[in-house]
Amino acid sequence: MLNRRNFLTAAVGVAAAGGLAACAKEDDSSTGSSSGGGTKAITLGFSQVGSESGWRSANTTSVKDAAKAAGYTLKFSDAQQKQENQISAIRSYITQGVDVIAFSPVVVTGWDAVLKEAKAKKIPVVLTDRSVETSDESLYVTLVGSDFTDEGRRAAKILEKVLEKAGHKGNVKIAQLEGTTGAAPAIERAKGFKEVMDAEHKDDWKIVVSQTGDFTRAGGKQVMAAFLQSNPDIDVLFAHNDDMGIGAIQAIEAAGKKPGKDILIVTVDGVKDGFVAMSEGKINAIVECNPLLGPQLMEVVKKVKDGETVERWIKTKESDFMQDQAKAALPTRKY
């Protein structure tokens, strides 16, 4: 059953140490402090994908705030969406001898070598947000993140309701704006959406065009403009995140069409700007992906450091994130 946490419709109104990649941004701010009794604070090395979207910015803030609240020393690096920067940051954390390494992988493959280096130094690794494919699952302890495949399924089920509300009859031509090529959310959201489409709409739904927009507004705008050139009769846009959807809206309007009416739009995330677009009738529905992983991550880090057993996959807790973003998107009224 779809509830308010799953979607809201428009009606709801590094530079790493010594010779490593210089183009990554690393923040070595020590936010932790020794706790009572002289216990040494946990040092956490965290490598973030980048700052490509509103969701990612909220995720970064959550991690930094939660580390500070927990009294951990946080070494933070922004990989700027480049795997080589992330690998360099992880190697820097290994050299520095942090207690735990956490990172949100840019893509799913290519991690075995650096994870083996961490394991050799007995530094546990926790994945956040995104998964990896590895030949040895002992190379990381756990994943703290969402079920992206289910988000894709929910997007398809929500689209059924959107089409019904819009009174759309007959065949549905769908454009898909994918996330970064090789990234877990891009792969899995597309998979989940197609599962429902193939099982329940094999005869009337068709993805006529699909391409990555790199989870960015600029990418969404550029790719959507190309979509409209090759397929001007698109009925629906499924965007793997809000930011690409917002960029696509600009391209749709530039082409003289009305987003949310001429082209129905379903996105994933639930950030403020997405709700602004939805309140304007330009996005029809949004599937929630909670970015506030910080508190859960810090709980897991402590358990891992203490040698406790943790689940292989710790699913993101439901939150009121979307409700808060929806409220923040409402226009301010002066009386």
Joined together, the tokens standing for residue 4 give 């308010």
Banded model confidence at residue 276, pLDDT cuts 50, 70, 90: very high
Q: 64-79 pLDDT, tens per residue?
A: 999 999 999 999 999 9
- Predicted confidence at residue 21, as pLDDT, reads 34
Banded model confidence at residue 3, pLDDT cuts 50, 70, 90: very low
- Predicted confidence at residue 252, as pLDDT, reads 98
* % of the chain beyond a pLDDT of 90: 81
- Predicted confidence at residue 24, as pLDDT, reads 55
Q: 141-171 pLDDT, tens per residue?
A: 999 999 999 999 999 999 999 999 999 999 9
Q: What would the mean pLDDT of 85-104 be, rounded to a whole number?
A: 98
Distance, CA of 120 to CA of 114 (rounded, Å): 10
Q: What would the mean pLDDT of 246-250 be, rounded to a whole number?
A: 98
pLDDT exceeds 90 at position 35: no
Q: What would the mean pLDDT of 229-246 be, rounded to a whole number?
A: 98
3-class DSSP string for the chain? CCCCCCEEEHHHCCCCCCCCCCCCEEECCCCCCCEHHHECCCEEEEEECCCCCHHHHHHHHHHHHHHHHHCCEEEEEECCCCHHHHHHHHHHHHHHCCCEEEECCCCCCCCHHHHHHHHHCCCCEEEECCCCCCCCHHHCCEEEECCHHHHHHHHHHHHHHHHHHHCCCCCEEEEEEECCCCCHHHHHHHHHHHHHHHHHCCCCEEEEEEEECCCCHHHHHHHHHHHHHHCCCCCEEEECCHHHHHHHHHHHHHCCCCECCCEEEEEEECCHHHHHHHHCCCCCEEEECCCCCHHHHHHHHHHHHCCCCCCCEEECCCCCHHHHHHHHHCCCCCC
- Predicted confidence at residue 327, as pLDDT, reads 87
Joined together, the tokens standing for residue 187 give 């792969």
- Predicted confidence at residue 39, as pLDDT, reads 55
Q: 185-225 pLDDT, tens per residue?
A: 999 999 999 999 999 999 999 999 999 999 999 999 999 99
pTM: 0.86
- Predicted confidence at residue 328, as pLDDT, reads 85
Please state, rounded to an integer, the average pLDDT across all residues of the chain: 89
